[in-house]
Amino acid sequence: MPPSSLFASLFASLLAGALLLAAAVPAASAGSDLDRYRWKSRVLVIAAAADDPRAAAQMRIAEAAAPAMRERDLVVVRAIGEGREAAALRRRLGLPATGFRAVLVGKDGGAKLTAAEPIPAERLLATIDAMPMRREKAARPRN
């Protein structure tokens, strides 16, 4: 095999490997977004197209309820647009590829509440307050 063909073959193999690795990293990253919160925080996932006004409405609800959300260990993760990370997060939660969804994920990593419209703060907080881990924490005396 001439050196130029050997080089071309090696280059093609390296390029293919790099592309496969690059394709795998965002999916792992999106999955780890939720994994890093497991047993530490509850997560409100907002999945929507970049121009969906319901995503902005859900963010406004979250911002207005920020103190109560902090008290309940609730963080927001956005899966906005059609990128790989957003798509991977949608797949992981079993959501449709398009359209708005708000998902409350418990500390155990399971979806506790899913809605096709923004979830009012009162409903989010009441759902969390009914969770066993939250009730247990609320029952403990504060120091």
pLDDT at 16: 41
Q: Does pLDDT of 15 surpass 50?
A: no
CA distances from 67 to 77, 118, 132, 141 (A): 17, 19, 21, 20
pLDDT score for 10: 46
The correct CATH number of 3-139 out of 3.40.30.10, 3.40.50.1820, 3.30.930.10, 3.40.50.300 is 3.40.30.10
Note the helical H segments in the chain: 3-35, 53-64, 66-71, 84-93, 121-129, 132-139
Domain boundaries, the chain: 3-139
- Which of residues 12 and 59 earns the better pLDDT score? 59
| Contact status, residue 55 vs residue 22, Cβ threshold 8 Å | no
Q: Write the pLDDT tens digit of every residue in 60-119.
A: 999 999 999 999 999 999 999 999 999 999 999 999 999 999 999 999 999 999 999 999
Looking at residue 5, what is its pLDDT?
Answer: 61
Q: DSSP code of 2?
A: -
Would you say residue 138 has pLDDT above 90?
no
Predicted local distance difference test score (pLDDT) of residue 108: 95
CB atoms closer than 10 angstroms to residue 125: 18
Positive or negative, the CA dihedral 75, 35, 137, 128 is positive
